Amino acid sequence: MARPRKSEARNTRQAILDASLDLFAEHGYFGTSMREIARTVGVRESALYHHFDSKEAVFRELIAHLGPGRIGQVMTVDTLGLARSLGVRQMLRRLLDMVVVTWTIPEEAKLFRVMLQEGMRLAAAEVVNPADAITRVRASMAALFGQLAKAGLIRKVDPHATSAMLMGSLLMLRVLYQGASSDFPALQREAAKVADQLWVFLEPGPEALK
């Protein structure tokens, strides 16, 4: 029997990820089995293990590309360059807008539901620790604030404390606007307010501009 083509294998792998996310969102991670995933995809359970050696591996793959994984990709934008060309306030507005836009993606909403409901259990079972991914994003944000301060574009602040303050505000918005697509304009306005308030805190005094 011929091996499946690479394109077919990729399609099957993506179908497994899509079906798994749907099931995790509906029944929870711990309420979903590999057998159910295989049944939903329409493949034998043994075929599932050809792509992923465990349910944990499926979930980790989802985390790598969604949630904090996707936000980490947003943070690869040349934010320092944007800050120099647009100003820090507008850069922050654009950055936060990019973040909240990702929340409207259906897959993101599904994963957030799982993490909100089962995050502590997932960490306790050592499947995935949400804090690890959040720490990586926070480190990226802290690095950004450090670069902005070094360039004299913002006042000297504790970059880690500032990133924690920003992420706390974003988390609050994420919880309040779980159905982001249903009221996205309001979410965008709230994110812009967060950016503006952060700028008030970061804006350098006259001495920094000399």
**What residue spans in the chain does CATH classification 1.10.357.10 cover?**
66-204
Which pLDDT value is given to residue 16? 96
CB 62 within 8 A of CB 21: yes
Distances (CA, A) of 137 to 73, 94, 97: 10, 17, 16
DSSP-assigned letters across all residues of 56-87 = HHHHHHHHHHSTHHHHHHHTTS-HHHHHHHH-
**Residue holding tokens 């089995």?**
33
Q: What is the pLDDT of residue 11?
A: 87
**How is residue 138 annotated by DSSP?**
H
pLDDT score for 61: 92
What pLDDT score was predicted for residue 31? Answer: 96
- Residues forming CATH 1.10.10.60 domain(s) in the chain: 1-56
Question: Which of 60, 56, 43, 55 lies closest to 9 in space, CA to CA?
Answer: 43
In the structure encoding, which two tokens stand for residue 113, read together? Answer: 């539901």
Q: Which fold has domain 66-204?
A: Tetracycline Repressor; domain 2 (1.10.357)
For residue 62, which of 104, 101, 23, 9 has the smallest C-alpha distance?
Answer: 23
pTM: 0.80
pLDDT of residue 74: 74
Tokens 């060309």, located at residue: 85
pLDDT tens, residue by residue, 10-47 = 788 999 999 999 999 999 999 999 999 999 999 999 88
Query: Is the domain 1-56 a CATH 1.10.10.60 member?
Result: yes
Please tell me the predicted confidence (pLDDT) of residue 5: 57
pLDDT of res. 209: 42
Q: Where are the alpha helices (DSSP H) in 66-183?
A: 68-74, 79-86, 88-103, 106-124, 130-150, 159-176
Question: Which amino acid, one-letter code, is at 84?
Answer: R
Per-residue pLDDT tens over the stretch 129-147: 888 878 888 888 899 999 9
Neighbouring CB atoms inside 10 A of 125's CB total 12
CA distance 20 to 29: 9
- Residues in the chain with pLDDT values less than 70: 1-9, 179-182, 205-210
- If DSSP codes are grouped into helix, strand and coil, which group holds residue 93? helix
Closest C-alpha among 70, 51, 49 to residue 115: 70
Interatomic CA distance for residues 145 and 53, integer angstroms = 40
Q: Report the pLDDT value the prediction gives residue 188, as an integer from 0 to 100.
A: 92
For residue 14, give both structure tokens. Answer: 């993506």
